[in-house]
Amino acid sequence: MSHKVDILSIGDVVTDAFIKLLPHEASVEHPDSHHPLLCMTFGTKVPFEKATVINGVGNSPNAAVCFALLGLNSSLYANIGDDKVGDDILLSLNSRKVSTEFVFINKGMSSNYHYVLSYGADRTILIKHEAYPYHWPQISSSKKPRWIYLSSIGEKAKHIHEHISSYLEQNPDVKLAFQPGTFQIREGVNKLRRIYQKTEIFAVNLEEAQTVTGSDSTDVTKLIRMLHDLGPKIVVVTDGPKGSYASDGATIYSMRNYPDPKKPFDRTGCGDAYTSTFVAAISSGENIQTALRWAPINPMSVVQQLGAQAGLLPKQKLLNLLARAPHDYQPKEIIKL
């Protein structure tokens, strides 16, 4: 059967209002601690540099846009309200060639709207997920996806994980990529065991890998083994400036980052860009080593612009940058499992 949808991304869609703070109007206290604090004067008016509104973003929408740019038929399952924000979200997604057939409009509800306090290259996001009913869509055989990409979704969507698990069990030819969001990580492995067991590609950063496994180890090979034990066939762990790691269950590879052309401007969406590019490569038939070479290029481009989507690259531009990569831009085999 020919699939009309290559990848169906599942997760919450939001509009982000970026508020760029002035360097002298804020400060970071305890910068080297696990929870540094962004500080501003309390109980007064705080000037800011500028505000920029970006529609149709979020872990899964960012991935959906990345997939479309890399030549895949991309569709999004999400919920919005029947408001101007929701209209703008649909316009933005459609303009990026993401199908919105499975985006549900909820009467009398608001669309997700987040505020991003941008300070230097980092950001603090004030979030609120609206309590949508989250109905699993009816997917006809002609719209059956080859892949499902599951990422951040609100706490009110707990039950949707059971629907996804059942759909994957009934359609074993559909593969799952899982980049868990904050709520999904907090839920713990036991409550999402069926999801983990059906996962083809699982992607987290090092700190998230520790939380998921319950281990405080910084030994990436140990963490990857523990993640494989939960069910995923391919495990990806990113580690910021140190690069990334991926395992197919037989071999663990390490990969350096693609060199930055200049200092990062905004790190929003860096992880989404990496994971979705990796998944796009695998779903396009590339092997794990090629996926590791593709994946760091989009984050390098994304951090040079504001927001998670402006820097995402079309496939040919990505391949052009790959062709110009340094000679040592290659995955290294670090251990056989």
End-to-end CA distance of the chain: give it in Å, rounded: 35
pLDDT at 337: 76
Residues above pLDDT 90, as percent of the chain: 85
Nearest to 72 by CA among 83, 60, 64: 64
Positive or negative, the Cα torsion across 260, 60, 51, 21?
negative
* For residues 308-318, average pLDDT: 94
**What is the residue extent of each domain of the chain?**
5-13+57-112+130-336
Residues above pLDDT 70, as percent of the chain: 99
* For residues 64-72, average pLDDT: 98
Amino acid at 144: K
- Mean model confidence pLDDT for the chain: 94
269 with 306: CB under 8 angstroms?
A: no
Q: Which residues contact 8 (CB under 8 A, 6 or more apart)?
A: 75, 76, 77, 102, 139, 145, 147, 148, 149
For the chain, the residue count is 337
Give residue-wise pLDDT tens across range 264-295. 787 777 889 999 999 999 999 999 999 999 99
pLDDT at 247: 98
Give residue-wise pLDDT tens across range 218-229. 999 999 999 999
pLDDT at 197: 97
pLDDT at 2: 42
Give residue-wise pLDDT tens across range 94-112. 999 999 999 999 999 999 9
79 with 54: CB under 8 angstroms?
A: no
CB burial class (10 A; 0-12, 13-18, 19+) of residue 172?
A: exposed
Give residue-wise pLDDT tens across range 53-62. 999 999 999 9
Binned at pLDDT 50, 70 and 90, residue 261 comes out as confident
Give residue-wise pLDDT tens across range 137-174. 999 988 999 999 999 998 888 899 999 999 999 999 99
Task: Name the CATH topology of 5-13+57-112+130-336.
Answer: UDP-N-acetylmuramoyl-L-alanine:D-glutamate ligase (3.40.1190)
* For residues 186-192, average pLDDT: 94
| Least confident interval from 16-30, 113-127, 289-303 | 113-127
The CA distance from 43 to 162, in Å, is 45
92 with 68: CB under 8 angstroms?
A: no
Binned at pLDDT 50, 70 and 90, residue 308 comes out as confident
Binned at pLDDT 50, 70 and 90, residue 3 comes out as low
User: How many of the other CB atoms lie within 10 Å of CB of 53?
Assistant: 12
pLDDT at 34: 83
pLDDT at 215: 96
DSSP character string of 242-282: G-EEEE-SSEEEEEPPPPPSSS-S--TTHHHHHHHHHHHHH
pLDDT for 1 beyond 70? no
